[in-house]
Every structure is written in C-alpha cells, then in structure tokens.
Structure 1
Amino acid sequence: MTWLAQRAEHRQAQGLHRTLRPRHADSQRIDIASNDYLGLATDPDVVEAGVAALRTWGAGATGSRLVSGHTALHAELESALSILLRAERTLTFSSGYLANLAAITALTDEDTLLLSDAYNHASIIDACRLSRAKTTVYPNKDVAAVRRAIGENPGKRAVIVTDALFSVDGDLAPLEQLAEVAQTHDAVLVVDEAHSLGVLGDTGEGACAAAGIDHEHLVRTFTLSKALGSQGGGVAASEPVIEHLINSARTFIFDTGLAPAAVGSALAATTTVLSRPDLPGLARSATDNLAEIAEHAGWQANPHDAAVASIPVGTPAQAVRAQQVCAQEGVDVGCFRPPSVPDGIARLRMTGQADLTDDDLNLVEKALRAAREAT
C-alpha cells in the first residue's frame, strides 16, 4: 500500500490535503460556508417536525421504498415538493448524489448520446461514467457545442445534462437555450437544481420553473439538504419518467428509503418555503451584500446569480490561509480547491443566507479585510 503514502505526499505538496474539522453545536462563528441558504436547518418548526417523525415512524425507513421503506410521510413530502417545484410528480432519494445517478443512468443506454457540461457536479460526472451512453463533455455553457454534437449524431437519442446553478461561482446555466435545443431535437434535458431550489423564482420554485421551462422532456434533480435544510434528494419529472425510475433506477430500488426524521424535516421546510415567499429574495439579497462587502475588503467576487458568491484567491495555500484568518475572526467561510474548482484557481466560497443580520455582515467584512491583509 505504498502508493497511498505517495498519493498523500503529493496532496501535501500541492496544498490539497484535507482534514475533517468537527463543527460544534455551540459555535458562535458566523456561517457563510454552509448551503443552509434559508436558515431552515435550525428552524424550530423544521427541527420539531423531524423529532415528531422520528417518534412516529422510528429511526429508519426499515427497507427499500419498494419493500417497507415507503411511508405515508414520504408520499406527503413528494406531494408538497411537486407543488413547490410545479412538477407533475416527484420521487425522493437518500441523497441528491443518488438522485443524479438514478436519473442519468436510468434514462440512458448504449444507444444514447449523453452531453454533459464541463463544470457539472461530481455526481453528474460519476453518473455519466456509470451510464452505458456515449458521453461528450461540452465546454461550460456552450450551447452551440451541444447543438453541433447532436447534429453530428443523427438518429441518436440524446440526453443533455447540466447544473442549473454551478456550485463554485453561483452562475446560471443557459437553461432557456438548452431547453430550445432539447425541444428541437426531441432530446431529454436533465437539470440539477441543487443550488437553485428554494433560492430562485418568486416562491423558490427553482431555475427552470422561474424561466418558464416546462415540457415533457424536462427532468429536474434536486437536494433536500441545501435550501430545505434537511437530508436527501429527489427527481421531478413527468409521470412516465417517475414510473420508469421506480422500476429501473438502481439507486432507488436497492437503497433504503430516506430516514423518517429527514422526511419530516424536509416536509416542514417545504411548507415553510411555500408560506414564506420572501425567503428566496432574502437569501439572494444577502449574497449581493456579501459580494459588495468583499469588494470593500479588497477582494473581487465573481459574478453570481443566486445565493453563492466566490472570491478567487490564488493558490490552495493562500485560500486555506484566508479561510483560517476568517475563522480566527469569527466567520466560517468555504474554501474550494482543486479538484472542486474547474479552472484550478482556489476560492473562498461565500453563501448568502436569509437570516444574516447587519451585525453579521459587519463581522464578515472585518474578517475578509483581515484575510486580505494576511494573503
């Protein structure tokens, strides 16, 4: 196993070694690192709903959804998610990662042309690798490349897959243009709404619904662990697609159902978003404020479209140092290094959260200023 030591040495030399840092329940640091965009992970009603589900249904789902793991609570959650997403039907999974694996592998075969954006999330990349399809990775947001690839493969059944919102810089994919290509060529469009559900749209319905994209070939994947503050993932699509996943997706058929506590919390969070249409706008506004604060502190944030704003720092070592200084100043901020950053430039990744206060933002500015001086 000497190769493991060699890999570890290489990571250390590149400044890419990662360690687990336990987060404590009584931490007083300001959080602009997590994906809890709407502040619902600790919302009393959301937490209590998870506790109530735990008491009612037990600690685990007890089996696959097709055996014993499908409860009335799962069905209620999926109905509520369909309302929020404005979808014909939704199907939940144990994680967003598994939802992407399910949708992409179940909707492709060896006769499929699979077109994937170069900046897509790792779960999409892994799904493409596991599929039997001919996979073409097109340059980030290059709609012309998608159109050209389909044209060069006449008669091939095509599936286009993209993040709705790219998670590193928080910028939107050209969804309307991709939807037009999909409709023109009778292709399936799979859109990962992980970072847009609950954040984009007038009521948090996500990027596709907000853009008015709604046709039978649209398949949306999403997570329950970001804006909804719980755990799990899902797929929103037409009735035939969902029925196909139930009967064909291995990560649904052979996985234990989502734990009842997570289901209960996600249901309460979904209900909260539906009743609080102001929350998405608050998260986006907080992100705008963070980007402005970063500039006041001497940084230049990348353009953003939702609740993520990133600051290019430079080398991994510089980004780690900046993150450490922020922590010392009382602020938790994300530090993204290769391979998480597609262009190789390490970043501080800030997430705007709906419950950030003016005092929080003042402390963030102080921390970012100290980090700038230290790097």
Structure 2
Amino acid sequence: MPIYDSLKQSLADLQSQSLLRQRRIVDSPCGPEIEIGGRRLLAFASNDYLGLAGKPALATAAQKAAKRWGAGAGASHLVSGHYSAHDALEKRLAEFVGLPAAISFSTGYMANIAVMPALLSRNDAIFADRVNHASLVDGALLARAELHRYPHGDLKALEGALIASGSRRKLIVSDTVFSMDGDVAPLAGLLELAERFDAWLLLDDAHGFGVLGPQGRGALAEAGLQSERIIYMGTLGKAAGVAGAFVAGSQDLVDWLVNTARAYIFTTAAPPMLAETLLAAVDLIEQADTQRAYLQKLIAAFRHGMQGTRWTLPDSRTAIQPVIVGDNAEVLALARALDDAGFWVPAIRPPTVPAGSARLRVSLTAAHTLKQVQALTAALQTLSAAA
C-alpha cells in the first residue's frame, strides 16, 4: 500500500529531524510531583498556574456537581444542552472580566476557530501577530479573510498593514501572554490601532486569565483597558484548573456568536457538572492574591538562578519561562538529561516555535516550592557547565 509507505516515510523524516512527538502517560493527579512509568518526577510542564487542578476544594465541587447534574449535557447548547449551570457560569465570567456578556466553549481551540469565521469573510482582513497560538492561525484561515501576519509585537508594522488595507471589515488578533515566549503583548497599542482603524480586537488571554490583573481578572484588567470592540477569550483549563473556555464582549457580539459560531452550534455542550465546578474555580481565583504574589517570587528566583548559564532566557515576567537552546537534537538531549535527574521539562520544537529556536518550556506554578525551583536551576547550571 504505497499510501502507507508514504506515511511511514514521513514519520521517519520527522524522526531524523528530531521532530517526532510522543505522548507520556501520567499516573497521578496534576501537580508539581507526578508519576510516569513508576517514577516520580518533579514537573515543570503544566499550565496549572495557581495549583488549582489538584486542589481538594475543586474535587469536592466536582463531586457535588456530578451528583446534581450527572455526567453529560446530552445535546448542543441550542438543542437541549444549555443548563442553568452554563448560564450562571457565563454570567459570572462576564462579570469577573468586566464585560457585558460571555459565551462558553468546550475548549479554547474551539473558541478561537469559532469567532473569526462568524465575524469575517472573504472581503475582510485579519491582522495577526506572527507567533500567535495555532488556534488563532487556524481560526483566521477558516474565516477565509485576507490574512496579514505582522512581526511579533511590532506595532509599527501592524499600523502600516492597516493603512494599506482597503478591506471593509478588519480584525486585529493577538495572544495577551504568548504561550511559548511568555512575554505580554502591547495591549494598549493594539487597542489604539483598533480604535483608529475601526477594527475588532480579539485577545486570547489563555495564559493571563487567573494570573494577571487585580484578583486574577486577566490582562485587560491589568492594563486597565475597556472598549466595545474588544473580543476577549479566556481558557478554563489552565489557571482555573478545570476545562473549557469562554468568549466575552458586548451582548450583541455574544448573541451573534450563539447564532453563527459553527464550533458552538454543532457540538454537544460541555457537561453542566464542569460548569458548576468552574463557578467554584472562579471563586478560588478571585481569592488567590497570595498565590499570585508567591508565583512572582518563584519567577524571580528562577530567573536569578539561571544567570550565567549558556542559554538565553527571553524577557518574560510570567509563569512561562522559556530556555532557548536552538538545535532540536540538543534540546531533546537536555530534556532527557533533566529527566534522568528527576525533572520533567518539555522540549518544544518546530513547528510550535520557529526553526532554530527549540527550547525548554519551564512552566512555574504556585504549587511549586522555592526549593523545587532552586533544584531545577541547580540542575540546569550543572548541565550548562558540562556542555
């Protein structure tokens, strides 16, 4: 079967380039210490930034919600799958991020591929940061609008593209916290351009929601920005510790998405038990100022402990702390050496990041201890000196 021979060759090509990916099976709850294949590893791999995923309070909330709602929703939101728990969660999330209304989705990926095709078409234009998350790239492609990808964080280049565009409708789209670099987008500048050129501004706050801003209300709250043209997407499987996502904005925007967003209309709703569990998670986020302050101390400790190593650390003030290695084979070897020493730090390679910028993606959480972070930096210092 030549078609399968071609597939096998493609897999072999990935292997030869040190790009083949494999899943690892975790046998313990999400947390700083995990079990894989009978070994205990100190993990710096999850996006559970506040340490809520394994928190007993959320497990108790989920048990209570399962008894109340059962396991599934049974249908899409527009058929019979929109429960009072979903409605309460959407109202709570909108209030929490300071926007009029919200609509919930099963995943952040679904939310991002839903919004752009619902708002734009072939005669319109999308202006996207070049290192946006893959879901934002795919959402832009599904919209079939003219796509302009401006250099990362380059407001001048974005302005030039907007000036040159004759499209009837425009949308600027960006992560707030970039998932592989950890830096924060120039949000005020993006909004100023959106206002000046009458464009929508879609912001993916997957890695900011729950972590940034007063009471964890996200990157918009931290920046003090408000505008009816902002479309805000937040995920609920990272700092919130559960699963799902939401899009918040004007009531008209949400009503339009309910009626036209295909990824919302044509999928079974997330279980109402998850929605009720997420209500408890939002309360925990709101009360987590101590955890957020502690996380900042861990970030500072990690960056201090990495001084003098042979690798580059981008300018990140967030829980995402990349260690840029460059070569694919070298970053895999470094990740294996850390694994041998009892640490799980994922090696990130193209196409997730640009060619030549393979990296370790160190993800810190409020569940880590200072000693654990110091143990990781000590291991990296040793490996740097031995290279």
TM-score tier, shorter chain, comes to: over 0.9
- Of 77, 80, 85, 1:73 maps to 85
Q: CA deviation at 1:44?
A: 0.7
Unaligned runs of 5+ in 2: 29-33
**Distance verdict in 2 for CA 1:102–1:284, change over 3 Å:** farther
- Of 6, 10, 27, 2:13 maps to 10
Q: In the alignment, is residue 44 of structure 1 matched against residue 56 of structure 2?
A: yes
Mapped to 2, the partners of 1:30 and 1:264 lie a distance apart of 31
**2:24 alignment partner in structure 1:** 21
SS at 2:360's partner residue? strand
Given that 1:200 and 1:210 are in contact with CA atoms closer than 8 Å, whether structure 2 keeps it comes out as: yes
- Of 145, 170, 182, 1:170 maps to 182
Q: State, as a whole percentage, how many aligned pairs show the same letter.
A: 35
Unaligned runs of 5+ in 1: none
Q: In the alignment, is residue 84 of structure 1 matched against residue 96 of structure 2?
A: yes
- Of 99, 122, 138, 2:111 maps to 99
Q: CA deviation at 1:91?
A: 1.1
Cα deviation digits, residues 131-182 of structure 1 (max 9, x gap): 1211111111121222222221246211000111111110011111010010
Mapped to 2, the partners of 1:370 and 1:261 lie a distance apart of 46
SS at 1:87's partner residue? coil
Cα deviation digits, residues 59-113 of structure 1 (max 9, x gap): 1111101112111111122122123212211111010000001111111112211
Cα deviation digits, residues 6-48 of structure 1 (max 9, x gap): 2111101110011111012162422211101000000111121
Q: CA deviation at 1:299?
A: 4.0
Q: In the alignment, is residue 344 of structure 1 matched against residue 347 of structure 2?
A: no
Mapped to 1, the partners of 2:45 and 2:308 lie a distance apart of 20
Q: In the alignment, is residue 301 of structure 1 matched against residue 313 of structure 2?
A: yes
Once structures 1 and 2 are overlaid, which stretch shifts more, 226-235 or 22-31?
A: 22-31
Mapped to 2, the partners of 1:102 and 1:284 lie a distance apart of 34
Once structures 1 and 2 are overlaid, which stretch shifts more, 26-35 or 218-227?
A: 26-35
Once structures 1 and 2 are overlaid, which stretch shifts more, 248-257 or 287-296?
A: 287-296
TM-score normalized by structure 1? 0.95
SS at 1:90's partner residue? strand
Q: In the alignment, is residue 225 of structure 1 matched against residue 234 of structure 2?
A: no
The equivalences for 1:146-295 within 5 A come to 146-154=158-166, 156-295=168-307
Given that 1:139 and 1:145 are in contact with CA atoms closer than 8 Å, whether structure 2 keeps it comes out as: yes
RMSD between aligned residues: 1.7
Mapped to 1, the partners of 2:167 and 2:9 lie a distance apart of 47
